[in-house]
Amino acid sequence: GIMAWATLLFDIYKPSLSSRWFDSFEIEREGRLYERSGVLLFRSFLQRIQWNRMLGVPAVRKSYAGITQMESGTRLSEASHWLCLVPIVIIVCFSIGSASRWTAVGFWIASAIDFHIYPIMLQRYHRPRYRRIQKHMERTGAEKNDSPGLSIRAS
């Protein structure tokens, strides 16, 4: 679907995804905003259906290189979902003018929330945690020996 096209575009053009947009805003850093928005329920659902396994995403990696790869993956996933939202927003904007298409508008809005907004929130929820782990590993020198003994909670 559309996510495959987004992934293909990112594979072809290889943007750096180093924009400050991917830095957490102050209100996001503790994660409470996303927790109140139901992102943990969404994450539970994805875990229950084993979404990452279906996509072939490796389990949590406990090394510095693995954490760095996971953090980078949150930026790529978030950017892909933003790219997918563009056509949905266009469809919704064109559909709003027609009262006979309210069912279609509702469908597109619901699909945007379920398939793109919640995934974006989930990526932004996890990224500060990965960055804190990276900084901790850098401070303690764990990134040099890539210690696999680092304890990482699943939440």
pTM of the model: 0.84
What is the structure's pLDDT at 91? 82
Question: CA 49, 128, 53: angle at the middle one, nearest 5?
Answer: 20
Distance separating alpha carbons of residues 149 and 137, to the nearest angstrom: 12
Q: What is the pLDDT of residues 71-103, one digit of tens each?
A: 999 999 999 999 999 888 888 888 777 666 678
Distance separating alpha carbons of residues 25 and 128, to the nearest angstrom: 10
The answer to whether residues 28 and 132 touch, using CB atoms and an 8 Å cutoff, is no
Q: What is the pLDDT of residues 5-25, one digit of tens each?
A: 888 898 899 999 999 999 999
